[in-house]
A and B are shown apart, each in its own frame.
Chain A
Amino acid sequence: AQSVAQPEDQVNVAEGNPLTVKCTYSVSGNPYLFWYVQYPNRGLQFLLKYITGDNLVKGSYGFEAEFNKSQTSFHLKKPSALVSDSALYFCAGQNSGYSTLTFGKGTMLLVSP
């Protein structure tokens, strides 16, 4: 069975500071991992993905994520947070042989001015 955990319900950070949103996974075989962002009253938007290759993945809006196989983690990072980054962030994963994604419960990111 696949599972994805986001241990923090909410992350608070000041504008200009670095941010990290945590994600751990339990996916058999080779994992495919994704980050999505959701703004109020909108659907999820794709940010970035890890399939294979470099452990540091760069995505949209200056976000990046680090894949760590030994710690089974895929944390989302950004060097300098913006107020406009405030949103709900979802980590998701799947086994390479699956057709479906398993989502974490989501982490609310609040960036204060």
Chain B
Amino acid sequence: NAGVTQTPKFRILKIGQSMTLQCTQDMNHNYMYWYRQDPGMGLKLIYYSVGAGITDKGEVPNGYNVSRSTTEDFPLRLELAAPSQTSVYFCASRQWVGTEQPQHFGDGTRLSIL
């Protein structure tokens, strides 16, 4: 009963490096989301997807890219890491049926960029 799984849990990057944050869910949810959480700022939506092959920008998409080739996976790509991208990143998913279903969250990836 894994739910939403995020890897890695922790990562330190140097400025200008790139990396991919992995997210996979085993609940057959159509909707998937990427958020970043900064202290005192709540969660900000980066990108989301309503199904395989469909993605859309959220509130803070700059510096990030996503793809959704399967229902299960929704990786987040940082191309040129910047100190402002130091944050905790959460992936979430929810069921297709209606907009009232709650989102299920992974345990996050803690990313530091030095």
Contact = CB atoms under 8 A, between A and B. Distances in A.
Contacts of B106: 43
Interface string A69-113: 000000000000000000000100010111111011110000000
B99 A98 contact: yes
Contacts of A99: 31, 48, 50, 99
Interface string B13-53: 00000000000000000010101000011110100101000
Interface in B57-114: 58, 90, 92, 99-100, 102-108
Contact of B99 (A42, A45, A94): A94
19 contacts: A32-B100, A34-B102, A36-B102, A41-B108, A43-B4, A43-B107, A43-B108, A44-B90, A46-B102, A90-B42, A94-B99, A97-B99, A98-B99, A99-B99, A100-B33, A100-B48, A103-B43, A104-B42, A105-B40
